[in-house]
């Protein structure tokens, strides 16, 4: 469902508006405008419910110019950057001249440990092996400073998507879109102080969120060596 479809379904299930309302998500007033806003807010609420939703993850591969100690998400032109996915074993770095077959896993160090190691005046450029996230601007810092053009492959979490136009469609897999509708209805029933309807919608949201967690949250596991 796109934004308009979500608003129409929410309006209909609210029991206060008929079929085909709204005609558009733009330029509405009164209760229709309220429902449009609540659907948009509901989608942000669902996205922010957990930082580890799988659908919010994105991979990238970008250049690290020589002599550049730090790069920002904006400098890497990452779409809707929210946060780095670190530390993880699936970050790789390599010298462009050596090709991806020479890729080595990036080892992330705590900020203080990285500063102690690479903030020393005697630190020299070299092949990148370590990285850290700089406090404040959340820039990625490379250690050593790249001595040649490098490539970096990593992962990040996208910032929440905001629905604004009729055709805007949530990033969420389509078979889970009803969690947005139910969350919007919960907000609407709370606004209306409709206690019975609020209790029902809270139950529905809990059930849909449980299904979403089951599918869209990575399950940690331990690799166990077989007993000889």
pLDDT for residue 223: 47
CB 179: neighbour CB atoms within 10 A?
23
Q: Domain boundary at 115, 137, 158, which?
A: 158
Residues 71 and 153 in one domain: yes
Residues 133 and 148 in one domain: yes
Of 122 and 114, which is predicted with more confidence?
Answer: 114
Indicate the helix (H) or strand (E) that contains 142. Answer: strand 140-143
* Model pLDDT for residues 117-126, shown as the tens digit of each residue: 998 877 899 9
When pLDDT is averaged across residues 140-146 and rounded to a whole number, the result is 97
pLDDT for residue 219: 81
Find out whether the peptide bond into 144 is cis, omega within 30 degrees of 0.
yes
- Helices of type H across the chain: 3-13, 30-48, 111-118, 178-192, 195-216
Residues 191 and 118 in one domain: no
* Model pLDDT for residues 146-187, shown as the tens digit of each residue: 999 999 999 999 999 999 999 999 999 999 999 999 999 999
What values do phi and psi take at 204, rounded to 5?
Answer: -65, -40
Residues listed for the chain: 228
Q: Would you say residue 226 lies in a domain?
A: no
Q: Domain boundary at 132, 158, 184, which?
A: 158
Residues 74 and 131 in one domain: yes
C-alpha span between 43 and 45 (Å, rounded): 5
C-alpha span between 5 and 8 (Å, rounded): 5
Q: Report strand pairing: 104-105 vs 81-84.
A: unpaired
Q: Tokens 């890729």 map to which residue?
A: 103
pLDDT for residue 120: 80
* Model pLDDT for residues 182-223, shown as the tens digit of each residue: 999 999 999 999 999 999 999 999 999 999 999 999 986 554
Q: Domain boundary at 131, 158, 185, which?
A: 158
pLDDT greater than 90 at residue 19: no
pLDDT for residue 54: 97
Residues 188 and 148 in one domain: no
**144, 126 Cβ separation under 8 angstroms:** yes
Tell me how many domains the chain contains: 2
pLDDT for residue 156: 97
Q: Tokens 């029902």 map to which residue?
A: 200
C-alpha span between 84 and 218 (Å, rounded): 16
Q: Tokens 């490379």 map to which residue?
A: 142
C-alpha span between 196 and 192 (Å, rounded): 11
* Model pLDDT for residues 86-102, shown as the tens digit of each residue: 988 899 999 999 999 99
C-alpha span between 176 and 211 (Å, rounded): 8
Residues 73 and 125 in one domain: yes
pLDDT for residue 89: 87
Q: Would you say residue 223 lies in a domain?
A: no
Residues 144 and 166 in one domain: no
Domain span holding position 76 = 57-158
Indicate the helix (H) or strand (E) that contains 140. Answer: strand 140-143
pLDDT greater than 90 at residue 224: no
Q: How far is CA 95 from CA 1, 92, 149, in A?
A: 44, 11, 6
Q: Would you say residue 227 lies in a domain?
A: no
**49, 29 Cβ separation under 8 angstroms:** no
* Model pLDDT for residues 37-84, shown as the tens digit of each residue: 999 999 999 999 999 999 999 999 999 999 999 999 999 999 999 999
Residues 152 and 173 in one domain: no
């Amino acid at each position: 469902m796109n934004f308009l479809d979500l608003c129409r379904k929410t309006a209909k299930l609210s029991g206060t508006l008929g079929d085909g309302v709204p005609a558009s998500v733009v330029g509405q007033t009164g209760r229709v405008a309220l429902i449009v806003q609540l659907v948009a807010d509901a989608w942000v609420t669902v996205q922010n419910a957990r930082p580890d939703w799988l659908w919010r993850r994105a991979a990238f591969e970008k250049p690290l110019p020589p002599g550049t100690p730090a790069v920002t998400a904006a400098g890497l032109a990452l779409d809707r950057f929210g946060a780095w996915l670190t530390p993880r074993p699936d970050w790789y770095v390599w010298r462009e001249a050596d090709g991806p077959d020479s890729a080595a896993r990036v080892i992330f160090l705590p900020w203080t440990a990285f500063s102690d190691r690479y903030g020393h005046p005697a630190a020299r450029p070299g092949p990148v092996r370590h990285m850290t996230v700089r406090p404040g601007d959340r820039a990625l810092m490379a250690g050593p400073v790249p001595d040649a053009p490098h490539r970096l492959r990593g992962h990040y979490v996208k910032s929440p998507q905001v629905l604004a136009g009729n055709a805007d469609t949530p990033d969420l897999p389509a078979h889970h879109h009803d969690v947005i509708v139910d969350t919007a209805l919960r907000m609407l029933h709370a606004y209306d102080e409709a206690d019975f309807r609020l209790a029902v919608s809270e139950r529905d949201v809990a059930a849909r969120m449980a299904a979403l967690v089951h599918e869209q949250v990575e399950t940690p596991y331990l690799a166990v060596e077989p007993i000889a």
